[in-house]
Amino acid sequence: MNNNMKISPSLFAADIFDLKSQIEILERNKVDLLHIDVMDGNFVSRMAFGAEHIQMIKKHTEIPLDVHLMVKHPERHISDILEAGADIITVHQESTTCLYHCLEMIRKKGRMAGVVLSPATSVQNIKYVLSLIDMVLIMTVNPGEKNQVFLFDMINKIKEVSELLENKNIDIEVDGSIDDKTAILCQSAGANIFVSGGYIFNNDIEQQIIKLQHALKIKNKI
């Protein structure tokens, strides 16, 4: 388990017409990652960023891109996402029968690979791929749905994953209704990477990042 705390703002919540200036604010505040959701309207009902968008974002920032694939058959998309510049790719365990293959594709290109666990997905499903992953992403809401609230049952799931990953240098990322309060609960359970969208982008971006850093006791890097 990795104890290096990181914040990964979710660009799905950003203002697409003002994305460049918002990324510049994130850069000034030294955020660790940029979280990019790729949704196909199939695995989840909504649609979002594709390889072309990732490529454009990559040209304008040096912040590592943390790409979350919410697509069916991710093995069909991974090569394009890698070529576009993703630094980390996380794949839903439920989205493919070729999980090993997906993770191997990512790792062979020297990028970081992870598995995503939706709320109802058992932790035991990652037990046999630990040698191939750098991250476990635990969804604290149902993926790809609107207006959701934090699922407090996921705190125990984070603890379970943390115990499974003991003595392994594998990140635990959480995504879904993460704010300065829910982040503390997730951190206490063992999470170290915090994806936050609306909490950051629907307010003063810089102030929200500082509040989140303060809550997580992350030294302000400005």
The terminus-to-terminus CA distance of the chain in angstroms comes to 27
66 tagged catalytic = no
Burial readout 92-117 (b: 16 or more C-beta within 10 A, e: otherwise) = bbebbeebeebbebbbeeebbbbbbb
175 tagged catalytic = yes
Give the C-alpha separation, 3 to 60, whole Å. 29
Give the C-alpha separation, 191 to 162, whole Å. 8
Do 210 and 200 touch, CB atoms closer than 8 A? no
Task: Name the catalytic one among 15, 18, 175, 180.
Answer: 175
Give the C-alpha separation, 86 to 81, whole Å. 6
Task: Name the catalytic one among 37, 40, 66, 171.
Answer: 37
6-9 and 88-92 beta bridge pairing = unpaired
Question: Given its phi and psi angles, is residue 198 left (phi above 0), alpha (psi -120 to 50 degrees) or beta?
Answer: alpha
Q: Determine whether 159 is exposed, middle or buried from the number of CB atoms within 10 Å of its CB (0-12, 13-18, 19+).
A: middle
Give the C-alpha separation, 42 to 199, whole Å. 26
List the catalytic residues: 37, 175
